[in-house]
């Protein structure tokens, strides 16, 4: 059937504009699919390899202090395979030439040999040597931000004593892929560092010789983590255990998992929209093709081509378009996947990156594209198959038009003949008109998603920092401290206002559900730190009871009025029943808030605080930093401005990439739908339009009839697109909800305007392309031959 193949290729060439437009949409669907899944695979493989190589632990626990002899008991817990104890502490770090306060987490490692669990991937330098108490390794991102190299120096305030440390190595660890300071909501690689130090040196500094305050476990295969955790908690309770937790709750792992979940959602949502639109476009184009080629189909059949081979011919045409989109999509998806993987790899500090595009992803993409393409065209191809040759030989019946609503309402006088032609044409095939409008609306919605993320993140930051946390500095103390400490902070020159805070780690429980978090004791009349509800109104903290983040209440399935069980994981570990008295709406993290005095009372301690919020005069900031640095009880200081800036920086790269890609894809859809609809409309009506031209209609008048329909569809699609986009964003914001963050549904006017502009621009470009074709309308030729 070589001749038929020639026909196939030449037909494709003839309708190359439409073929390209469809393939482009198909490319969009396949590319997002391949990009998301291949990045997912790449990250998953890289993560698992990394975890395995560095022997990343399965269960973690922090405690106050336990003797090394406890290890035997921990090892005996059924299901535990290996145990590694460490000394971990917070410290203030001073980087030469950098004024801002820096917080460090000091983590002990064995001297001269790699740790048994949570091992380090050494980027440069070496591990610490035995007998040297000033040697440290620092994490790669921190080193990178400051340009620190082995041989450079740091100063750390360890347990109140200042000490100069020599950097001997730069390393990475699966434990700190997403290195985020305790209590912080955004990573700040410049102001938070991981410092690995010899066990003996660190233990000596904290009086932890022969003891530990951090322990990690790997589990035997098939062991039940929950059982092991319960067991461990019982053992370490007397040593100030803060509750063991599984890897799934480890903070770095959590963030990475959320990211992977996002990729999965993306792989599921976007391709469905794209391939749906592509299927619709294929349907329109192939249906039209079969109509215009009725005669050719009849001839093929008249000369003995079977129904099957005619069907195969048109199916092959669809197949070629689908394959074109598939090939382009896989290539674009692999390219984008590589780019995205690299972004993630850098952001999450993977030591090695090998991009994986698995065959099954490509196969799945092929399958999904084929199913979508064939579903869209099965009716059209079936028509070609079933077309009786004698009938096909006759020209098509004149299309049946009806009076439209305009005429039925007697409004025809208000509309010109051409306008009524537009209305009739749209009403004749309402489903097709509706699907065209739907396709354009989908494009609009997808473009909205691109900027929705930006809007949402800006809003989150606004709410979090401008309204809820307006303090300039957050100073944390290494131990609960008397309220008096607040006065000395308030007394510093340049400090305008200071508020104390008492946070205590706790397991929050309701019925069988529990959450490892903390209780935040706040000043009820505080002005720096405000607790807000969903309408951004201030939530008053009553004398008694606890106010929960709404998402935490959801997790625990608890409502105001019910009793929350609070298992304090500090001191003598009281277990308390506290009524939930209200909910607060927050986008970052989850918390349980009480009055500071109530927390003090429940813990049976005096007026104690362990953190302070400061409002300062910018001009004095450097001096204040220096003063704070000199205070032995101060564990660390977080500067608000820098947190926002650094967060913006980290988000921007990723979001920019997404925005660019989604806007591009959205434009592809808009163009594909508008161009194809218009192109088909032209081919369906060229005789009609040419006749009108012969009768004396001007080009403009004829163009109005054709392009008017396009304009109506586009304008109808815009409000619909807004609704669709909003629902799509709502779906995504729901899909991404976790205790780490909730993305609010915020759509700024310019996001909507941008989406509408891209759609309108696509429509105008399509219109212009069509205008050119209209000008080339062959008046005589069209009238001479029958269709």
Partner 1 sequence: MNSTPVAAESDAQTVFRVRGLTKVYHMGEVDVHALRGVDLDLLAGELMVLLGPSGSGKSTLLNILGGLDTASDGSVHYRDQDLTHADERRLTEYRRYHVGFVFQFYNLMPSLTARENVAAVTEIARDPMTPEDALALVNLQDRMDHFPAQLSGGEQQRVAIARAVAKNPAVLLCDEPTGALDSETGVLVLEALERANRELGTTTALITHNAGIADMADRVVHIMDGRIGSEQRNVTRKQASELSW
What's the distance, Cα to Cα, between the start and end of the chain in Å?
26
Q: Which of 437, 447, 345 is nearest to 46 (CA)?
A: 345
* Segment interacting with partner 1 (CB under 8 A) among 2-10, 125-133, 354-362, 495-503: 2-10
299, 492, 532, 735: residue in contact with partner 1 (rule CB under 8 A): 299
Residue 11 or residue 58: which is nearer to partner 1 going by CB? 11
> Would you state the torsion angle of the CA atoms of residues 12, 15, 16, 18, taken in this order, to the nearest 10 degrees?
-120
CA-based R_g, the chain, Å: 33
Query: Mask 379-398, x = binds partner 1 (CB under 8 A)?
Result: ---------xxx--x-----
Q: Give min distance, CB of 51 to partner 1, in A.
A: 58
Shortest distance, position 309 Cβ to partner 1, whole Å: 8
Tell me the site size for partner 1, rule CB under 8 A.
Answer: 27
Residue pair 448/615 in contact (Cβ under 8 Å)? The answer is no
3-state DSSP assignment of residue 125:
strand
Which residues between 7 and 26 bind partner 1 (CB under 8 A)?
Answer: 7, 10-11, 14
Are the beta carbons of 521 and 599 closer than 8 angstroms?
Answer: yes
Tell me, rounded to whole angstroms, the distance of Cα 538 from its chain centroid. 29
Between 386 and 416, CB nearer to partner 1: 386
How would DSSP label each residue in 531-563?
A: -B-TTSPBPPPPSSSEEEEHHHHHHHT--TTSE
* Residue among 7 and 633 whose Cβ is closer to partner 1: 7
Are 136 and 154 in contact by the 8 Å Cβ rule? The answer is yes
Q: How far is the CB of 423 from partner 1 (least distance, A)?
A: 25
- Among 75, 76, 268, 302, which residue interacts with partner 1 (rule: CB under 8 A)? 302
Burial tier of 10 (Cβ tally within 10 Å: 0-12, 13-18, 19+): exposed
Whichever of 4 and 378 has its CB closer to partner 1, that residue is 4
Q: Which residue, 240 or 389, has its beta carbon nearer to partner 1?
A: 389
Judge contact between 19 and 13, C-beta under 8 A: no
In contact, 196 and 107? CB cutoff 8 Å: yes
Q: Which helix (H) or strand (E) holds 740?
A: none
Please identify, using beta-carbon distances, which residue of 4 and 370 lies nearer to partner 1: 4
Which range, of 23-31, 212-220, 293-301, 335-343, touches partner 1 by CB under 8 A? 293-301
Residues 47/256, Cβ–Cβ less than 8 Å: yes
Q: In Å, how far from its chain's centre is CA 42?
A: 17
Distance of CA 464 to the CA centre of its chain: 19
**What is each CA distance from 383 to 5, 11, 305, in whole angstroms?**
20, 18, 15
CA angle (49, 54, 60) in 5-degree steps: 110
Could you say which of 19, 25, 63, 298 contacts partner 1 (CB under 8 A)? 298
Round to whole Å and give the CA distance between 407 and 402: 9
301 versus 596: smaller Cβ distance to partner 1: 301
786 binds partner 1 (CB under 8 A): yes
Q: How far is the CB of 787 from partner 1 (least distance, A)?
A: 10
- 221 binding partner 1? (CB under 8 A): no
Stretch that binds partner 1, among 5-13, 172-180, 516-524, 607-615 (CB under 8 A): 5-13
Q: Are strands 592-595 and 211-219 parallel, antiparallel or unpaired?
A: unpaired
Stretch that binds partner 1, among 295-303, 337-345, 729-737, 763-771 (CB under 8 A): 295-303
Instruction: List, in sequence order, the alpha helices (H) in 387-429.
Output: 389-393, 405-408, 417-428
Selected range binding partner 1 among 17-25, 85-93, 298-306, 368-376, rule: CB under 8 A: 298-306
Q: Which of 55, 71, 305, 708 binds partner 1 (CB under 8 A)?
A: 305
Asked whether 743 and 736 are in contact (CB, 8 A), the reply is: yes
Residue from 1, 367, 371, 761 touching partner 1 (CB under 8 A): that is 1
Instruction: Write down the least CB distance from residue 308 to partner 1, Å.
Output: 9
Distance from C-alpha of 305 to C-alpha of 511, rounded to nearest angstrom: 72
Which residues, numbered 306-325, are part of the site for partner 1 (CB under 8 A)? 306-307
Q: Using the rule CB under 8 A, give the single segment among 290-298, 448-456, 511-519, 646-654 that binds partner 1.
A: 290-298
Q: Which of 94, 190, 288, 301: binder of partner 1 (CB under 8 A)?
A: 301
Minimum CB distance to partner 1 smaller for 4 or for 246: 4
Q: Which stretch binds partner 1 (CB under 8 A): 302-310, 526-534, 569-577, 593-601?
A: 302-310
Identity of the residue, 130 or 390, whose beta carbon is nearer to partner 1 in the bound complex = 390
Q: Is 733 in the site for partner 1 (CB under 8 A)?
A: no
Near partner 1 by CB under 8 A: residue from 239, 296, 458, 514 = 296
Rounded least distance, CB 304 to partner 1, Å:
2
How far apart are CB 391 and partner 1 at their closest, in Å? Answer: 8
Question: What's the chain's length in residues?
Answer: 787
Q: Are 187 and 162 in contact (CB under 8 A)?
A: no
Q: What is the DSSP letter of 209?
A: T
Rounded to a whole number of angstroms, the minimum distance from the CB of residue 405 to partner 1 is 25
The candidate with the shortest Cα–Cα distance to 764, out of 718, 711, 717, is 711
Give the residues lining the site for partner 1 (CB under 8 A): 1-4, 6-7, 10-11, 14, 295-296, 298-307, 388-390, 393, 785-786
């Amino acid at each position: 059937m070589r001749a038929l193949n020639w026909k196939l290729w030449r037909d494709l060439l003839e309708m190359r504009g439409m073929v390209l437009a469809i393939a482009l949409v198909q490319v969009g669907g396949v590319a997002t699919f391949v990009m998301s899944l291949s990045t997912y695979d790449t990250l998953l493989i890289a993560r698992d390899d990394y975890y395995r190589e560095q022997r990343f632990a399965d269960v973690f626990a922090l405690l106050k202090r336990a003797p090394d002899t406890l290890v035997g008991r921990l090892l005996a817990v059924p299901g535990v395979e290996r145990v590694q104890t460490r000394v971990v502490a917070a410290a203030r770090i001073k980087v030469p030439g950098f004024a801002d306060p820096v917080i460090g987490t000091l983590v002990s490692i064995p001297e001269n040999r790699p740790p048994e669990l949570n091992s380090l991937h050494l980027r440069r330098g070496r591990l610490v040597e035995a007998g040297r108490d000033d040697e440290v390794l620092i994490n790669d991102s921190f080193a990178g931000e400051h340009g620190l190299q082995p041989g450079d120096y740091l100063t750390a305030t360890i347990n109140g004593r200042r000490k100069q440390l020599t950097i001997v190595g730069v390393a990475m660890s699966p434990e700190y892929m997403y290195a985020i300071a305790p209590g912080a909501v955004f990573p700040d690689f410049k102001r938070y560092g991981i410092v690995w130090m010899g066990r003996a040196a660190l233990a000596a500094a904290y009086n932890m010789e022969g003891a530990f305050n951090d322990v990690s476990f790997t589990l035997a295969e098939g062991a039940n983590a929950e059982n092991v955790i319960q067991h461990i908690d019982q053992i370490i309770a007397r040593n100030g255990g803060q509750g063991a937790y599984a890897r799934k709750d480890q903070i770095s792992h959590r963030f990475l998992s959320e990211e992977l979940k996002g990729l999965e959602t993306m792989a599921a949502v976007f391709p469905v929209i794209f391939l749906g639109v592509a299927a619709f476009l294929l349907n329109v184009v192939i249906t039209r093709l079969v109509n215009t080629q009725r005669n050719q189909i009849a001839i093929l059949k008249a000369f003995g081509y079977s129904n099957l081979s005619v069907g195969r011919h048109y199916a092959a045409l669809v197949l070629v378009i689908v394959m074109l989109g598939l090939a382009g999509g896989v290539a674009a998806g692999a390219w984008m996947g590589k780019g995205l993987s690299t972004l993630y790899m850098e952001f999450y500090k993977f030591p090695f990156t090998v991009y994986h595009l698995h065959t099954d992803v490509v196969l799945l993409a092929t399958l999904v594209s084929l199913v979508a393409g064939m579903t869209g065209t099965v009716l059209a191809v079936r028509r070609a198959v079933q077309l009786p040759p004698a009938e096909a030989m006759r020209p098509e019946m004149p299309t049946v038009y009806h009076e439209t609503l305009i005429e039925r309402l007697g409004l025809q006088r208000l509309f010109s003949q051409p306008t009524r032609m537009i209305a009739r044409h749209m009403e004749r095939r309402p489903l097709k008109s509706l699907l065209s409008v739907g396709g354009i609306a989908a494009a609009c919605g997808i473009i909205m998603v691109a900027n929705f993320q930006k809007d949402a993140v800006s809003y989150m930051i606004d709410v979090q920092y401008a309204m809820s946390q307006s303090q300039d500095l957050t100073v944390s103390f290494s131990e609960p401290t008397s309220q008096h400490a607040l006065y000395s902070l308030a007394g510093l020159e340049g400090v305008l206002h200071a508020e104390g805070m008492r946070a205590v780690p706790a397991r929050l429980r309701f019925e069988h559900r529990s959450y490892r978090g903390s209780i935040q004791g706040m000043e009820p009349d505080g002005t720096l730190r405000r607790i807000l509800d969903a309408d951004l109104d201030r939530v008053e903290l009553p004398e008694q009871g606890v106010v929960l983040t709404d998402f935490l209440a959801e997790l625990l399935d608890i409502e105001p009025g019910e009793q929350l069980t609070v298992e304090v994981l500090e001191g003598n570990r009281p277990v308390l029943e506290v009524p939930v008295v209200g909910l607060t709406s927050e986008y970052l993290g989850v918390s349980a808030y009480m009055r500071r005095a109530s927390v003090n009372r429940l813990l049976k301690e005096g007026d104690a605080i362990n953190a302070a919020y400061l409002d300062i005069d910018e001009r004095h900031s450097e001096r204040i930093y220096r003063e704070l640095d000199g205070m032995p009880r101060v564990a660390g200081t977080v500067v608000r401005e820098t947190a926002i800036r650094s967060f913006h920086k980290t988000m921007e790269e990723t979001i920019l990439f997404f925005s660019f890609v989604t806007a591009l894809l959205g434009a592809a859809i808009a163009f594909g739908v508008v161009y194809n609809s218009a192109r088909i409309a032209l081919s369906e009506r060229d005789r009609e339009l040419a006749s009108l031209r012969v009768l004396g209609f001007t080009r403009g008048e004829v163009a109005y009839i054709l392009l008017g329909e396009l304009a109506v569809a586009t304008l109808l699609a815009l409000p619909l697109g807004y609704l669709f986009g909003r629902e799509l964003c709502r779906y995504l914001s729901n899909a991404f909800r976790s205790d780490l963050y909730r993305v609010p549904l915020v759509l700024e006017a310019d996001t909507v305007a941008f989406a509408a502009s891209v759609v309108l621009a696509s429509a105008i470009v399509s219109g212009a392309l069509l205008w050119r074709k209209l000008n080339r309308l062959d008046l005589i030729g069209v009238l001479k031959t029958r269709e």
